[in-house]
Amino acid sequence: MTEEILEPDLPIIDPHHHLWDLRPMLPMFPEPQHDFIAAIAGAAHYTFDQLHADLNTGHNIIGTVFMECGAFYNSTASEAMKPVGEVEFVNGVAAQSASGLYGDLRACAAIIGHADLTLGSSVSPVLEALKLAGNGRFKGIRQQGAWDADPAVLGPPFHAPAGLYSSDKFRVGFAEFAKHNLTFDAWLLEPQLADIISLAAAFPEQKIVLDHCGTPLNIASYRGTLAENYDRWRASIRSLAEHQNVSVKLGGLAMAFCGMPEDGPANETGSEHLAAMWRPYIETCIGAFGTDRAMFESNYPVDRWGASYPLLWNAFKRITTGYSEDEKAALYAGNAARFYGLESLLT
């Protein structure tokens, strides 16, 4: 499905996308799991060419933030240092984009890597190596804490332990991490939101952003439960927003985990329908965090499950039709630029 691009001149910094090649990994999993992994990932192969094509479908994307995803780790490094390979790879992609050969867009202008905070006080050398590998583009880390008792919810790619953000080992590492003036992206699932509320309260000076509106669930044993769990989700979002060190990413709702829509594919659902499904979650987040601590994200290619790249941004723009120009400037670019240190993209 194709649509006219809404507000094509509105500058956008996409603060959350991935790059990866999952094809060599598929043989590690039983063949019946391949379709599940493909659905969750949105694309088995998504590197600069695919990203560049999506970013040039009509919206005014001026820059992006790469989000860690376990891609292109350095197999020859120690276990702790393996994630440095991902930042090295993405910094090369950022340099490719910054060459100017592909237009004014600055893809991967900020890079979010990974470090295992359960290393405790020993995590600092990893963070220093990530900074060096990023050549000024490395801005922070994500250590995803998504977990559910039902293994069918997340499938084989995800292995965070239960209660990671509340564990003593993680908190010791987080305290060390907090000394480095970096950002922290938090991804967990709606039933786990108390964990990030507790973490934000324990580290009030640390900049944290919650990914994907807190990931309301509509998959596996949660399928069909969005309505009955909505009030619990909303209460958690409002509680988290009381902590001024926390921001929220507006997106991720087109993931298969969230199931909005339930069955995809992207080209069968127009932006009006997407906006209607997402509006209660997006507007609740903006209402709680305000227009100065929220930022729209694509979460591509994962959100390809439910929305093509141009329709995804059209849906967001339909939701913000009544917002002022200053509010739109903040939600679509300004807040991401301030959070990730990309103010130069706005000049």
- pLDDT confidence band for 26 (50 / 70 / 90): confident
CATH number at residue 329: 3.20.20.140
The domain in which residue 17 lies consists of 11-346
Residue 1 domain flag? no
User: Using CA atoms, how far apart are residues 262 and 121, in angstroms rounded to an integer?
Assistant: 43
Residue 241 domain flag? yes
Residue 277 domain flag? yes
What's the half-sphere exposure (Cβ side, CA atoms, 13 Å) at 188? 27
pLDDT tens digits for 157-169?
A: 788 999 999 999 9
Residue whose tokens read 């290619």: 301
For the chain, what is the domain count?
A: 1
Distances in whole angstroms, Cα of residue 332 to Cα of each of 61, 124, 129, 220: 10, 33, 31, 32
* Lowest pLDDT segment from 1-5, 16-20, 296-300: 1-5
Residue 6 domain flag? no
Distances in whole angstroms, Cα of residue 264 to Cα of each of 55, 98, 256, 279: 21, 34, 8, 18
User: Using CA atoms, how far apart are residues 209 and 81, in angstroms rounded to an integer?
Assistant: 24
pTM for the predicted model, two decimal places: 0.97
pLDDT tens digits for 274-314?
A: 999 999 999 999 999 999 999 999 999 999 999 999 999 99
Residue 266 has pLDDT above 70, yes or no: no
Residue 3 domain flag? no
Amino acid at 55: L
Helix axes 84-98, 124-134, angle to 10 degrees: 20
**Mode of pairing for the β-strands spanning 208-210 and 183-186:** parallel
**Tell me, what DSSP letter sits at residue 330?**
I
What does the pLDDT read at residue 267?
62
Residue whose tokens read 């087109």: 254
What does the pLDDT read at residue 40?
81
Q: Is 163 helix (H, G, I), strand (E, B) or coil?
A: coil
Residue 89 domain flag? yes
Mean pLDDT of all residues in 188-214: 98
The answer to whether 188 and 137 have CB atoms below 8 angstroms apart is no
The answer to whether 139 and 183 have CB atoms below 8 angstroms apart is yes
What does the pLDDT read at residue 173?
98
